Amino acid sequence: MKILIPVDGSKYTDMCLKVALPFCKQVSGVEVYILNIIPHLSDIDFELTPTDREVMRDSFMKRAEDLLEKSKGYLHSQGLKNITTVILKGTSPANEIVAYAEKEKINLIIMGARGLSEQARFLLGSETPKVVKYSPCCVYVVKESCMDFCAT
């Protein structure tokens, strides 16, 4: 079984990792993929100098690496071994998640109901419904009400 957990550093990231544990521990040989998507800077409507663009790109990459390492460390501390971390660049997180799930033949995606910017969902639309709609596999959506479950 292959499980994909997209992470963005929001409060849902930790909840998704905790919710994934029972799934991961019930199946032998489970493969866990932790994914972070960083934006293509050329697609961001900023007037940046090449130096500023490089600084921003490095900042996004460092943040993604730190987040993935922290997430992987947590799962390792819970006894999971077969964990792959992935950083992708793209303009649409939902499209990148779905494409990766198709490519890797993922069986289950565990992701938060919302991401870092709860306000941005009114402007851009939430990524989670897009993933649910177009995903080739089941999607377990973690909502804030899972907080009590995840605290244990």
Domain of residue 20, residue span: 2-151
Give a three-class secondary structure readout of 4-62. EEECCCCHHHHHHHHHHHHHHHHCCCCEEEEEEEECCHHHCCCCCCHHHHHHHHHHHHH
DSSP annotation of 138: E
Q: Can you give the C-alpha Rg of the chain in angstroms?
A: 16
State residue 71's pLDDT score. 96
Tokens coding 84? 């792959």
pLDDT tens digits in sequence order for the chain, 152 residues long = 999 999 988 888 889 999 999 988 888 889 999 999 998 766 555 677 778 878 888 998 999 999 999 999 999 999 999 999 999 998 889 999 999 999 999 999 999 886 655 444 443 447 889 999 999 999 999 987 765 665 55
Answering whether pTM is above 0.75, one says yes
Specify the DSSP element, H or E, that contains 140.
strand 138-142
The CATH number assigned to the domain holding 85 equals 3.40.50.620
State residue 30's pLDDT score. 95
State residue 91's pLDDT score. 83
State residue 147's pLDDT score. 59
State residue 123's pLDDT score. 37
Number of domains forming the structure of the chain: 1
